[in-house]
Amino acid sequence: MASGKGTSTGSYYATTRFSRRSDELQTALGQGPSISAAARGEAVLVPDLSRASARRLWPVFAESALADGLKGVFAFPVGAGAAVLGALTVHRSDPSPLEEDELACGLASAEVALDLMLHGPPRGATVPWANGGDMGSHQVEVHQAAGMVSLQLDVTVDEAYSRLRAHAFRHDMTLADVAQEVVRRRLRFTPDPTTG
């Protein structure tokens, strides 16, 4: 599940390595179905990423995801209107549309995710990320790194996120890995001498 809007979108919880890779790729590139669903507040259903329409919308994401074996992506907004908190995203390794019952399940799951994010799990219920599981701890480092880069370059935090994403893409790294390098002070961003 991706959370947030705009430049700070990131993975809140991923069930598999594959879904974490897809979320990190979208976050690093600033494009993809999850980001579009969160920004528009409507479901984004892409049964076949190799279609020209998907490649036009998210050229780099589509190419990279296809290379990773991802064929279909279905992103459901978590929230409504101006109160969209993120997107619940389902992936497929074969290019095929969702059946009617699968679509209904995706929409209902996004509503449950919203309720859990706003109110927490019911008393006695076990929710993996509610107990400190894979809750996106790497995102804390991403936010911390963005703050550090903002200070290093004297730019806005949004610009710092853009710089982190660009570095990740240019060096074929995940955004989480770049953030870790910045936070551990092994990577420092310096202003371009020609532009200041």
- pLDDT digits over 3-33, tens only? 554 434 555 566 777 778 888 888 878 899 9
Residue type, 54: A
Q: Report residue 2's pLDDT band, with 50, 70 and 90 as the boundaries.
A: low
Domain extent listing, the chain: 2-123, 137-183
Task: Compute the C-alpha angle 128/120/37, nearest 5°.
Answer: 80
The confidence score (pLDDT) of residue 191 equals 85
Q: Which residues contact 50 (CB under 8 A, 6 or more apart)?
A: 62, 66, 71, 95
| pLDDT beyond 80 at 156 | yes
The per-residue pLDDT for range 69-96, each reduced to its tens digit, is 999 999 999 987 778 888 999 999 999 9
Closest of 159, 178, 160, 181 to residue 168, by C-alpha: 178
Query: Of 3-7, 40-44, 104-108, 166-170, which gets the smallest average pLDDT?
Result: 3-7
Of the two residues 134 and 152, the one the predictor is more confident about is 152
pLDDT of residue 133: 43
**Distance from C-alpha of 174 to C-alpha of 129, rounded to nearest angstrom:** 21
DSSP output for 107-160: HHHHHHHHHHHHH-PPTT---GGGGTSSS-HHHHHHHHHHHHHHHHHT--HHHH
What is the per-residue pLDDT for 12?
A: 58
Identify the CATH assignment for 2-123 out of 1.10.30.50, 3.40.50.300, 3.30.450.40, 3.40.50.2020: 3.30.450.40
Work out the pLDDT band at 195, boundaries 50, 70, 90: low
Give yes or no for residue 190 having a pLDDT over 50. yes
What fold does the segment set 137-183 form as a domain?
Arc Repressor Mutant, subunit A (1.10.10)
Q: How many CB atoms lie within 10 A of CB 35?
A: 27
DSSP state of 181: H
Query: 92: helix, coil or strand?
Result: strand
Per DSSP, which regions of 51-128 are E strands?
72-78, 86-92
